Amino acid sequence: MTTAPVSVAGIGAAVRSGEVSAVEVLERHLAAIDAREPDIHAFNLVTADAARATAARVDADVAAGRDPGPLAGVPIALKDNLCTRGVPTTCSSRILEGWRPPYDATVVRRLAAAGAVFVGKTNLDEFAMGSSTENSAFGVTLNPLDTSRVAGGSSGGSAAAVAASFAAASLGSDTGGSIRQPAALCGVVGVKPTYGTVSRYGLVAFASSLDQIGPFTNDVRDASIVLEAISGHDPLDSTSIPRGPVTTTEVLDRGVAGLRVGRIVDLPGGSDPEVEQRLAEAFDALRAAGATIVDVELPSMKFGLTAYYLIAPAEASSNLARYDGVRYGMRVDAPDTNAMYGATRAAGFGDEVKRRIMLGTYALSAGYFDAYYGKALKVRRLIHDDFDRAYAQADVLLTPTSPIVAFPVGAKVDDPLSMYLCDVFTIPTNLAGHPAMSVPFGTGADGLPVGVQVLAPTLGEPVMFQVAAELERAAAR
Amino acid sequence: MADSSPRITPEAVAKVARLARLDLAEADLARFAEQLAGMLAHFADIDALDLSTVEPMTQPYPLVNVMRDDVVSTSLDRDEVLAAAPAAEDGRFRVPPIIGLEG
């Protein structure tokens, strides 16, 4: 009897070959949820019954000689801003409480077609706005490695679900770091693919020019397998790049000899000393494995935060106009529609969402458009062009994922700006539309995990994974 | 650094709240005014940049006029969609009177 598989790759192979059953794999994960979910609160909803039915179907397929697909029996958790037909999708907001979408997101359909078993919908900062999953209408998600600390955000539930072995993989969405930052804080792998690589159809929109769906997993190979399953053109998303799925698994063992790894000499400061130390060790490890370290400049990177916090709220204020008490979710009754809109939105949205809608509305309003939104779009171009110059010299860039390790619950809730600074290293990637991923690389203060971020140019997923796999090997030594 | 960012008053915040269709209490308006002023002061870091020759960037990946073929396909089921609405009647969304009591 071999030991029970825990990885996406291991579970998929073992279930397909009939070595273990999907039901058995699922029950192991459901038992973990039973044991620890009350202390962590990774989920808004655990769909145990539906998962059992799916797992039984996968096993029946295997028994009948039908291949359920590469993710056969793999338990996967979905961020609760991904639409699941007939299954409540809340975005952790009162305004969508009880809403059951009439369709599945494309990523949900693709994972289901590959044999995955969905265990539940994970908690997030309301409408994905936040860096700690404290802005949820349904309670805070705690870090499985230290439950006095946050799991990061906004995809904190998805990161915690993988870190606590509630699921072998999960999906999140990343608008300014919402996959990579919680991955770093929970000690798991998190990938933000190139904009347009993964269909956004069925992802509840936050900032449409920045949002991208991606996986959380325990290791780099698993992230590659899940990304391959969800990526590729989708006619239902008009920003989807017309190409096939990314292919990254085949490059994982190639090493980094001859690759050029960029060190950003004018990287914004303020990181924990241990975080800076881990980054230095990551460069050393890649150099030892045959890569060349090159210094690059990104002078506009420090303006990323400003550009992002004007552009993302502006897009959000437009996207969230649809929550008006007419077509879905809650309604506060009032004598006329205008009063109904105002009362519904005031009651349905939490503080951070209101703050960003206000900021975005202000930045787009007459008299301020050019001074704020217009200027932010030009800064976005500067950052994009800086990256272009850097990638003429380097194949990938390396930064910390987060300047700090997981912080105590409540430490930043009253200071929006200090919360926003958590994303200083992740935001520029979204503005440029590039891929980036966080790989666990040692620990920092109090033994908490540190993530190193690998950044690559548009459609540079293969070289990004190649480097991430090398970092993972180095971290294991 | 010269502070060229406009002061954001509670009155300005109240106007933005109206535009955003958010009925905010007085206490919320005052708190948001203070927080927004703090953010806008931070965002003044880009004021010193010369952006006169820079093209705005709205999308990361250039795709234009993405259209599907003009063929009939299935759409969402009407009853399933209406079932998710706060109120529906005769196959339509039901809302309060549109011509309101105030302007």
Contact A358 B55 (CB under 8 A): no
Write down the residue that tokens 């009651």 correspond to. A347
pLDDT-derived band at B100 (thresholds 50, 70, 90) equals: low
Q: How confident is the model at residue B102, as a pLDDT?
A: 56
Query: Is A79 annotated in the active site?
Result: yes
**Using CA atoms, how far apart are residues A428 and A308, in angstroms rounded to an integer?**
8
Contact B36 A306 (CB under 8 A): no
Q: How confident is the model at residue A2, as a pLDDT?
A: 53
CATH classification number, A8-250, choose in 3.40.1280.10, 3.10.350.10, 3.90.1300.10, 3.10.250.10 = 3.90.1300.10
Half-sphere exposure in the Cβ direction for A193 (13 Å, CA): 30
What pLDDT, in 10s, does the model give residues A166-220? 999 999 999 999 999 999 999 999 999 999 999 999 999 999 999 999 999 999 9
Partner-chain residue, chosen from A341, A342, A384, that has the shortest CB–CB distance to B57: A384
What pLDDT, in 10s, does the model give residues A56-102? 999 999 999 999 999 999 999 999 999 999 999 999 999 998 899 99
What pLDDT, in 10s, does the model give residues A246-292? 999 999 999 999 999 999 999 999 999 999 999 999 999 999 999 99
Q: Which of A338, A349, A388, A417 to mutate to test the interface with B (most CBs of B within 10 A)?
A: A338
Q: Which of B13, B22, B53, B81 to mutate to test the interface with A (most CBs of A within 10 A)?
A: B22
Is A88's Cβ below 8 Å from some Cβ in B?
Answer: no
Which segment of A43-47, A117-121, B60-64, B90-94 scores lowest on mean pLDDT?
Answer: B60-64
ipTM of the complex: 0.91
Q: Which distant-in-sequence residues (6+ apart) come within 8 Å of B67 by Cβ?
A: none
* φ, ψ dihedrals at A294, nearest 5°: -120, 145
Express as a percent the part of chain A with pLDDT over 90: 95
Quote the distance between the C-alpha of residue A152 and its chain's center. 11
**Using CA atoms, how far apart are residues A430 and A420, in angstroms rounded to an integer?**
14
Q: From the candidates A93, A154, A155, A173, give the one annotated as an active-site residue.
A: A154
What are the sequence ranges of the domains in chain A?
8-250
CB contacts < 8 A, A to B, total 172
pLDDT-derived band at A412 (thresholds 50, 70, 90) equals: very high
**Using CA atoms, how far apart are residues A106 and A233, in angstroms rounded to an integer?**
10
Q: From the candidates A92, A158, A178, A438, give the one annotated as an active-site residue.
A: A178
Query: Is A155 annotated in the active site?
Result: no
pLDDT-derived band at B2 (thresholds 50, 70, 90) equals: very low
Is B30's Cβ below 8 Å from some Cβ in A?
Answer: no
For residue A150, list its beta bridge partners.
Answer: A142
Mean pLDDT score, B16-39: 93
Q: Which residues of A191-227 are buried (b: 16+ CB within 10 A; e: fewer)?
A: bbbbbbbbbbbbbbbbbbbbbbbbbbbbbbbbbbbbb
For residue A198, list its beta bridge partners.
Answer: A231
Write down the residue that tokens 């990523």 correspond to. A107
Query: What are the tokens at A28?
Result: 């192991």
What pLDDT, in 10s, does the model give residues A24-48? 999 999 999 999 999 999 999 999 9
Q: Is the pLDDT of residue B103 over 60?
A: no
Q: Is the pLDDT of residue A1 over 80?
A: no
Contact B97 A382 (CB under 8 A): no
Contact A303 B85 (CB under 8 A): no
When the pLDDT of each residue in chain A is averaged and rounded to a whole number, the result is: 97
Per mean pLDDT, which of A248-257, B61-70, B74-83 is the most reliable?
Answer: A248-257
Q: Are A100 and A89 in contact (CB under 8 A)?
A: yes
Q: How confident is the model at residue B3, as a pLDDT?
A: 44
Mean pLDDT score, A375-386: 98
Contact A358 B20 (CB under 8 A): yes
| Residue in chain B lying closest to A197 (CA) | B61
H helices of A120-215, in order, are 156-163, 180-186
Q: Which distant-in-sequence residues (6+ apart) come within 8 Å of A31 by Cβ?
A: none
pTM summary value: 0.96
Q: Which of A199, A306, A364, A382 to mutate to test the interface with B (most CBs of B within 10 A)?
A: A306
Contact B61 A241 (CB under 8 A): yes
Contact A343 B23 (CB under 8 A): yes
